[in-house]
A = this chain, B = another copy of it.
Amino acid sequence: MAGSHEKSNLRVSAEKVLRFPGEVGVMMWEMGKEDPRRVIHSIKVGLALSLASMLCLLESLSQGIGQNAIWAVMTVVVVLEFTAGATLRKGLNRGVGTLSAGLFALFVEYLTADRPTPRAVVMAWTVFVIGAAVTYMRFLPTIKNNYDYGVMIFILTFSLILVSNYRIDDTTRMARDRFYTIVIGCGICLFLSLLIFPTWSGDDLHKSTIAKLEGLAQSVEACVGEYFGDAQTKEIQDELLKDSIDENCIKVLDSKYTDETMALNASWEPRYRWKCYKSPWQQYVKFGAALRRFGYTVMALHGCLHTEIKTPPSVRALFKDQCTRLAGEVSEVLVELANSMRNRRHFSPEILSSHLHIALQDLNTALQSKPQILLDSMNRKDSGFSLTASLEANSSPVHESATARPPEQVHGIQKVLRPQRSKLVIASLEFSETLPFAAFASLLVEAVARLDHVIEEAEQLGRMARFKEYRAGDDVA
Contacts of A421 in B (CB 8 A): 352, 357, 452
A140 interface contact, C-beta 8 A: yes
Q: Which residue in B53, B131, B387 is a CB contact (below 8 Å) of A50?
A: B131
New contact pairs (8) apart from A54-B124, A371-B379, CB-CB < 8 Å: A42-B135, A45-B132, A46-B133, A49-B127, A52-B159, A300-B303, A368-B379, A421-B452
A166 interface contact, C-beta 8 A: yes
CA distance A308 to B60 in the complex (A): 74
Q: Is the CB–CB distance between B422 and A27 below 8 Å?
A: no
Q: Of residues 17 to 67 in A, which have CB atoms within 8 Å of B's CB atoms?
A: 27-28, 31-32, 38-39, 41-43, 45-50, 52-54, 56-57, 60, 67
A419 interface contact, C-beta 8 A: yes
Given A53-B124, A56-B163, A435-B438, does the pair A78, B156 have CB atoms closer than 8 Å?
yes
A429 interface contact, C-beta 8 A: yes
A343 interface contact, C-beta 8 A: no
Q: Is the CB–CB distance between A429 and B77 below 8 Å?
A: no
| Nearest B residue to A133, CB-CB | B42
Contacts of A420 in B (CB 8 A): 452, 456
Q: Is the CB–CB distance between A361 and B128 below 8 Å?
A: no
A219 to chain B, nearest CB (A): 13
Q: Of residues 94 to 147 in A, which have CB atoms within 8 Å of B's CB atoms?
A: 120, 123-125, 127-133, 135-137, 139-140
A41 to chain B, nearest CB (A): 7
Q: Is the CB–CB distance between A459 and B155 below 8 Å?
A: no
Q: Is the CB–CB distance between B422 and A139 below 8 Å?
A: no
Give 30 A-B contacts (CB < 8 Å), ordered by A residue.
Answer: A27-B140, A43-B132, A45-B135, A49-B131, A50-B124, A50-B125, A53-B162, A53-B163, A56-B166, A57-B120, A57-B123, A70-B163, A74-B160, A77-B152, A78-B152, A78-B156, A254-B256, A296-B300, A357-B421, A360-B422, A360-B426, A361-B391, A361-B425, A367-B378, A371-B432, A374-B378, A420-B452, A421-B452, A423-B449, A435-B438
Contacts of A129 in B (CB 8 A): 46
A264 interface contact, C-beta 8 A: no
A253 interface contact, C-beta 8 A: yes
A241 interface contact, C-beta 8 A: no
Question: Which of A201-209, A268-276, A439-447 is near enough to bind chain B?
Answer: A439-447
Greatest chain B CB density within 10 A among A49, A164, A419, A420 is at A49
Q: Is the CB–CB distance between A368 and B364 below 8 Å?
A: no
Greatest chain B CB density within 10 A among A163, A349, A391 is at A163
Q: Is the CB–CB distance between B296 and A73 below 8 Å?
A: no
A224 interface contact, C-beta 8 A: no
A34 to chain B, nearest CB (A): 9
A206 to chain B, nearest CB (A): 21
A253 to chain B, nearest CB (A): 7
Pick the 7 closest A-B CB pairs, nearest first: A46-B132, A438-B438, A300-B300, A439-B442, A42-B136, A257-B257, A49-B131
CA distance A139 to B156 in the complex (A): 28
CA distance A142 to B110 in the complex (A): 49
Q: Is the CB–CB distance between B77 and A354 below 8 Å?
A: no
Given A300-B296, A439-B439, does the pair A367, B448 have CB atoms closer than 8 Å?
no
Contacts of A423 in B (CB 8 A): 449, 452
A6 to chain B, nearest CB (A): 26
A169 to chain B, nearest CB (A): 13
CA distance A126 to B227 in the complex (A): 59
A217 interface contact, C-beta 8 A: no
A86 interface contact, C-beta 8 A: no
Q: Of residues 329 to 371 in A, which have CB atoms within 8 Å of B's CB atoms?
A: 349, 352-354, 356-358, 360-361, 364, 367-368, 371
Contacts of A254 in B (CB 8 A): 256-257
Q: Which residue in B120, B159, B446 is a CB contact (below 8 Å) of A73?
A: B159
Q: Indicate with 1 or 0, residue by residue over A300-312, a CB within 8 angstroms of chain B CB atoms.
A: 1001100111000
CA distance A164 to B69 in the complex (A): 9
Q: Indicate with 1 or 0, residue by residue over A140-178, a CB within 8 angstroms of chain B CB atoms.
A: 100000000000100110011011101100000000000
A164 to chain B, nearest CB (A): 7
A418 interface contact, C-beta 8 A: yes
CA distance A140 to B23 in the complex (A): 12
